[in-house]
Amino acid sequence: MSVDGWRAVDALLSNLGERNPKFRVVFKGDLDSFRCGTRGEHDTIRWLIESHLPLVSSKGLVKFEQVRHVENRFRKSCIL
């Protein structure tokens, strides 16, 4: 998706959050199986998401949930 596309998604999610105080964007996954860059896995995931959804993240509408034993499609396909 282009940068403009992410900005549009961010603005729409932010608008949804303003209209519904209980609205949250939840990212669930086995965060330990994700390895990228020099930061810790959890920090890298948060940084990637927050950099694409800055409005939603700054308003506290993003929630991360650790879910163990989630199938990792990248590991399954031998990418990781």
pLDDT tens-place string over residues 31-55: 655 555 445 556 777 788 888 999 9
Per-residue pLDDT at 75: 57
Separation CA 27–CA 63 (nearest Å): 6
Which residue range(s) make up the domain with 43? 3-76
Tokens 């949804």: give the residue.
16
The count of structural domains within the chain is 1
- pTM, two decimal places: 0.63
Tokens 């994700």: give the residue.
34
Separation CA 65–CA 30 (nearest Å): 9
Separation CA 13–CA 45 (nearest Å): 19
Residues contacting residue 20 through CB under 8 Å, at least 6 positions apart:
none
